[in-house]
Chain A
C-alpha cells in the first residue's frame, strides 16, 4: 500500500467491533482506544447491531459459531470497511471464521443460505479483521507514534502481556508476530519512550478461557504471571485484551485473597499508556475506572512531565 501524505483525511477507517466484554466491563479500554485513535488520525465507525463474535459457542456447536461470526462479517461487508477489534478473542474468532468461510466454497454456500433465509443477509467472504494493536502498529506505525510522544516515560518499566489470540494461531495473522517471540507490543511500549521489560513465562495464557468452567484453575494461571511480573518490579502490566484484564485486574483482589499475598499491580490497556504518553489526561483515558489504583503511576508520570 502506498503511504498516504500527512493531511486532514483520516489515516484509515475501521468498523469498531466491541464484542461482549468491552462495552460492559472494560469501558476504560474503549474510551482510551477511541481517544488515541482520534489523535493518530484513525477513524472508527460504529455498528450498534454487532453482536457476540460467536467464540463462546465454538466449543458447543462449530457451525453456530461460524453463523454468528458470519452475521457480524456480513454487517461489516455492507459498509465496505475492515473490522477493528479491541478484544483479542473477538479478533481471532472473526478472523478464523472469515478464513474458514473464504477457503470453503460449500461452507460459504451453506452459511449464505442460512443467513439469507433466516436473517435476509449475505456474506461474500471478503472482510479483513484486525486487532487495534495491529492497526496501531501497521496503520499508524511505531515511528509515527514515537514522534507524537509528549511526555517523558523513560523511567517507567512495563511488563507486556500479549495474551493468546492476538498472535495465535499465527497462520491467521500471516505471522505478523512470531508466536514464540512476538515483538509488536514491546515495540509499541518502547515507542512511548517507556521500557518494555522481560519476565518469566511472558507468553503464558491468562487463564480466562477456563474461568467459567473452573475458577480455581483460571486464578492459579493468572497468579503465576502476577508473581513473575512482581519479581521484575514492573510499574504496571500492559495488555490488549479485555478478558486478560478481567483475570489480572478485576480478579487481582480475589487472587490476592486466595493465595494470601498482595500484588497491587496496576494493569493498563495499551491505549491508556499510549494516551498518557501523547499527553492526554488520565480522566480522558478512563484511568479512574481501573480497579487497581493507578494513582502512584500517574504521579510518577506527571511529576516527570512538568
Chain B
C-alpha cells in the first residue's frame, strides 16, 4: 500500500533537472527496459520499469534509500531499445547522484571515491607494479596524482 501523504510530487522534477534525468517523464511503462535487462535476468531485485514508476509516483525516500538503484550494470541495452528515449542508465545515474547527495552512498562507492581521491585511480600503482611492468618491457605509469583530490576539493566533493 502506498500512502499518498508520504509522496513527494516534486521528485520527478528534481530528477528531470539532474544531468541524465531529463526524460523521465516520457516513460509510459512499456517494460522494454526490464524485458531485455541482463541484471533482471538473474535477480528480481532489479526492475527498471518499477523504479521509474516509483520515482514518478514521488516515492522519494523509498527510491533514494534503496539498493536497487545501484544494481544497474550500465550495459545500455535498454538505452538503445527504449521507444521513449528515457535513457535509463543515465536516468539511474541521475537518481544515484541525488541519493549520494542525500547521504545514501553505498559503502562500496565510498571506497572507490576514497581511492580516486588518494591515487587518481581505482587501483594503486606502487613501485612493485612499475617493477613488474619494467620486467615486461612496459613503460612506467604515474602511480599517484594530487590532481583528482584538488578537483574533488574544488567542487566540494568529500569522500
Contact = CB atoms under 8 A, between A and B. Distances in A.
Chain A contact residues (Cβ within 8 angstroms of B): what range? 35 or more
Nearest to A114: B154
Given A118-B151, A180-B80, A212-B109, A207 B73 contact: yes
Contacts of B148: 51-52, 68, 71
B27 interface: no
A52 B121 contact: yes
A18 B42 contact: no
Interface in B82-108: 87, 92-94, 96-97, 100, 105-106, 108
Contact of A114 (B122, B136, B142, B155): B155
B38 interface: yes
B73 to A, nearest CB: 3
Given A24-B129, A27-B138, A59-B97, A217 B71 contact: yes
Nearest to A107: B19
A168 B112 CA distance: 24
Contacts of A180: 80
Interface string A49-69: 111100011111111100110
B19 to A, nearest CB: 5
- Chain A CB count within 10 A is highest, among B72, B100, B121, for B121
Contacts of A306: none
A59 B70 contact: yes
B35 interface: no
A213 B67 contact: yes
Contacts of A52: 116, 120-122, 148
B112 A217 contact: no
Interface in B50-76: 67, 70-76
